Amino acid sequence: MAVAGGWIGGVGHASSLANDPDTDALGDPGPAGLSYASPRVSRAMTIPPAAPAAESPAERVSTPVDGVDVLGAISPSRAGDFMACPLMYRFRTIDRLPEQPSPDAARGTLVHKVLEDLFDLPALDRTPERAGDMLEPTWQALLAAEPELEEMFGESGPDVTAWLASCRTVLDRYFDLEDPRRLEPADRELYVEALLDSKLLLRGFVDRVDVAPDGRIRIVDYKSGKSPGEGYEAKALFQMKFYALVIWRLRGVVPSVLQLVYLGNGEILRYEPDEDDLRATERKVEAVWAAITRAQETGDWQPSPSRLCDWCSFHEFCPTKGGTIPPLPERTTPAVDASVDESSD
């Protein structure tokens, strides 16, 4: 299906710029449904927040998991954790072990937040210069909310000035890919949840939702890292299909385009899902949940060593790294807690 037409945002808030024909050309996703786009001016963008947990929309509005009406809840990040390494999932979600702040993750959070706030500005003010000016104060606000981020720097970590410069580089790259002056996203950092027939709750935060005048929906996600190589897109697209499934369940409309904006190397990955795609995603999520439940019942959370281990904070507890697995915490209700992940990557 070829995609054309304007992607405007904020139902009822579309600006004249958003209706500019130039703005409407969505690139060409191509008939295969999957496409990459290198630097080109497209449209919209979104951002994840660094709000304290107590202010999280998930805290305020998410459906409680009571083990009866809702058997469990899962986000795409946590599903991805389990698929990558069940033991890591356990440490992160069941044990809730603390993790060291990472400069890469913090860069993602900071850049996402700047982009979010950028869209609060009048359209014509959304320039690279204004975005760059917002980096330092936004970083200070993040630090105030999460003082432990300071631990990333110092003797063994990067120099904070150099790190901020790297954030600026990533942020600047955004403007090679999209022109925020021509966009009015319908939603940014949108909390979504949908209950499947199995009573499994799917939930998470969507970076940005664009809505065209004819009602077509585009889901956009920002990645501060590089795009996956050819043939390795499935993992990245799983998250997007997960969100598309939730939106489909919520609004009765299959999103037309899933768009991943890779700020690490300036590429855009687009995919056009259909109902079969999303049904397959639903089956996959159900299968992941069944495997998580089995692990919970048996206590068997297998490690799965991979390149991901290089970024794992749990080496001291992982037998594949010479560590010792701690005892499981006392079981609480519901049977399995899958927290909503709000991190930015």
From the list 25-33, 49-57, 160-168, 300-308, the region that binds ligand SF4 by CB under 6 A is 300-308
Q: Is the dihedral of CA 297, 64, 211, 25 positive or negative?
A: negative
Q: How far is the CB of 327 from ligand SF4 (least distance, A)?
A: 16
Of 314-343, which residues contact ligand SF4 (CB under 6 A)?
314-315, 318, 320-321
| Euclidean distance between CA atoms 33 and 273, whole angstroms | 7
Answer whether 345's CB lies under 8 Å from 105's CB.
Answer: yes
Residue 128 host element (H or E) = helix 128-145
| Residue with the two structure tokens 């206590």 | 299
Contact between 304 and ligand SF4 by CB under 6 A: the answer reads yes
DSSP per position, 303-314: ---SGGGGG-S-
Contact between 94 and ligand SF4 by CB under 6 A: the answer reads no
Q: Is the dihedral of CA 274, 279, 285, 287 positive or negative?
A: negative
Q: What pairs with residue 178 in β-bridges?
A: 42
Q: How far is the CB of 303 from ligand SF4 (least distance, A)?
A: 4
From the list 133-141, 271-279, 306-314, 335-343, the region that binds ligand SF4 by CB under 6 A is 306-314
Mask of contacts with ligand SF4, 45-84, x by CB under 6 A?
----------------------------------------
Of 151-180, which residues contact ligand SF4 (CB under 6 A)?
none
Q: How far is the CB of 88 from ligand SF4 (least distance, A)?
A: 4
Q: How far is the CB of 316 from ligand SF4 (least distance, A)?
A: 10
Contact between 102 and ligand SF4 by CB under 6 A: the answer reads no
Answer whether 316's CB lies under 8 Å from 323's CB.
Answer: yes
Q: How far is the CB of 294 from ligand SF4 (least distance, A)?
A: 18
SS3 337: coil
103 CB neighbour count, 10 Å cutoff? 17
Of 181-240, which residues contact ligand SF4 (CB under 6 A)?
none
Answer whether 178's CB lies under 8 Å from 44's CB.
Answer: yes
Binding positions for ligand SF4, rule: CB under 6 A: 85, 87-88, 303-305, 308-309, 312, 314-315, 318, 320-321
